[in-house]
Chain A
Amino acid sequence: MTSTGRSGKGEPLPEVILESGIPVEVVYGPEDPADPVSARIGAPGEFPFTRGIHPAMYRKRPWTMRQYSGFGTATDTNARFRYLINEGNTGLNVAFDLPTQCGLDSDDERARGEVGRVGMAVDTLLDMQTAFEGIDLDAITVSLTINGAAVPIMAMYFALARKRGYELSQLRGTAQNDILKEFIGRGTWIFPVEPSVKLVGDTILFCAEHCPRYSPVSVCGYHIRESGANPVQEMAYAFLIARAYADHVIGRGLEIDGFASRLSFNFDIFGKLFEQVAKFRGGRRLWARIIRDQYGAQDPRSAWLRMIAGGGGGGLTIEQPVNNIVRGAYYALISALSGTQTMALCSYDEAYTIPSEEAARISLRTMQILVEEMGLCDTVDPLGGSWLVESLTDEMERRIEACMEETAAEGGIVQQIADGVIQAKVARQAYQRERDIASGRLRKVGVNCHRVEEEHRRVELHPYDRKAAEAQCEGLNKTRATRNSGEVNAALDRLRKDAEAGANVMPAAIDAVTALATVGEVTRALRDVYGEYVERVRF
């Protein structure tokens, strides 16, 4: 193997010379382009994108570092955002509290004890304004981790952007907005399965028309994996879910090239290093084939598997938590070797609590060390051509595709989710995993081997701020008392009517939140029309 010395589309890329004086090429591969491995994996930035979706990958620009954060009120969260940006975060990943995620206002009876607990409390546009005060939405891309309540929260983000003078047509960012996986893991569903998919469709259609640079959906294999799925199922179910959304919006008249390049994915990174890297490489190739060959996409960007590969929560342990810093570093390495676009790491204390500032900074530094010190950005797909990795890549691709076919044959992903079949399957696997840990078949350092007696664990717990919760409710009441209620009600009526008529609810939702309708009110209007999901528990 020798270097091919390709440098993308001729952009000037930074030169890399090793301590030993060896110049490093952007990408390496076999001299003979007819080499069978080379033919199968292709070049970076070229179909089928096994080696990465861009020709020069991180040599041109390192991955986006986007730690998940948010707690208390919007003011508290704004301070943490600024801290993270100041420390070198290049994206924001917003955590909302559970009432917000479930579409409840902070003073709802069911919100008691939960306001601001696991994320930031948002009731109205004013909270979103506070959260992003002083943050340039052009300079930093914001990812909204919102699913069940994606309509009001995305509407607020667009309303906020408009109010601050950004052109929606230029607005970048991502919403998680993957409701189907919420029925498998994470659980912040609100509406029944079918209208839930329709609402995701509304956001995709709205963005295709008004905010073409915004990514309206980040399809999550992540939470499916955390719920017990193996890496093959993680990818297969995510691809099937993405296909369900794609089929839905195509059914409503959108062309594949009108939205596919804005679909993004969220995958997990715990597990065995080479298996994980192969999962991403094989998955990238399979997705490219699906989009080009099955959907007939013409735009090569439509076939890009853009992703955040991060987290790794399922691999962390509550025992000897400092070991999680080391695990996080290996997980970050997996993510970098896999050619991710964005990375976020679970912090070492995250098995217990909302990360402390220190823990969040260690996660960020872990990624920065890979970028600045370890040379992970120098060369594209450094494991390409490895016999092990190429063999695993082929096998992962084959198995993911087989799992997709099997699931389709068994009734399809949407039906199997609605029936609770997938949930039961991954839960049984999670149980088996626990039994394997108990029996020692699956080794976890500090859990079933290399244990120590721990008298007290050196982890600082994030305190619950009751005062913040009270302040949030007071603020909400004040907004309710001072807003133009005629305008709010008219907008909510229109929202209800649009939902009843099967029209896209996004325009009315944006008007409603601009008039300071709350997350709870917008959700209630939609619930009036669509009803509520009734969980089907199976084992």
Chain B
Amino acid sequence: MSPARILIAKPGLDGHDVGARVVCLALRDAGFEVIYTGLRRTPAEIAACALEEGVDCVGLSILSGAHLVLCEELKRELAKLDLPDLPWIVGGNIPAEDREPLEAAGAAAVMPTATPLEEIVRVCRTVLESPRGGKQ
């Protein structure tokens, strides 16, 4: 079986990508095939990239606080491209009270800052193995 492909994306204007890059490296070491979008991608660009690369999962990194707006947009863009079931995960500076609205919006997992790398890898595996995941 080929390794799971995961797209790590930086939506919006937030330019802080240490976390995203560290997560990329950790997932790669854990055996994932990782694609990183680079900074300042619109949700439409991220969805298009997910389609083109045929990824099994999308991970968003957002530190500015604009996660609710951006996740809603990504969800719409994925649906437009006929990828409504592609699982996506959001990480970053996310206050506890936003977990529920993000999950309601369709996040397969929410991983706020300070989530240990081991946990991030574990959650990504779980998401990919779930019925919605691309690797069944």
Contacts and interface: CB of A to CB of B under 8 A. Distances in A.
A486 to B, nearest CB: 32
B118 A111 contact: no
* Most B CB within 10 A of own CB, among A185, A186, A423, A537: A537
A464 interface: yes
B95 A187 contact: no
Contacts of B17: 187
A117 B66 contact: yes
A102 B69 contact: no
6 contacts: A98-B64, A111-B13, A117-B66, A186-B15, A318-B113, A352-B95
Given A98-B13, A428-B25, A114 B64 contact: yes
Interface of A: 98-99, 101-102, 104, 110-114, 117-118, 182, 185-189, 226-228, 317-319, 351-353, 423, 427-428, 430-431, 434-435, 438, 447, 456, 461, 464, 535, 537, 539
Q: Is the interface of A mostly helix, strand, loop or mixed?
A: loop
Contacts of A535: 38-39
Contacts of A187: 14-17, 39-40
Contacts of B12: 98, 110, 113-114
Interface residues of B, number: 34
B22 A427 contact: yes
B42 A434 contact: no
A305 to B, nearest CB: 26
Nearest to B28: A539
Nearest to B10: A187
Interface string B110-128: 0011101110000000000
Contact of A431 (B13, B25, B37, B112): B25
Given A182-B15, A427-B21, A431-B22, A118 B114 contact: no
Given A113-B12, A113-B69, A438-B116, A118 B64 contact: yes
Contacts of B13: 98-99, 101-102, 104, 110-111, 114
3 closest Cβ contacts across the A-B interface? A187-B15, A113-B69, A98-B13
Given A111-B13, A352-B95, A102 B40 contact: yes
Contacts of B21: 423, 427, 430-431, 539
Contacts of A317: 114
Contact of A539 (B24, B70, B112): B24
* Most A CB within 10 A of own CB, among B37, B38, B66: B66
Nearest to A427: B21
Interface in B25-53: 25-26, 28, 36-40, 42
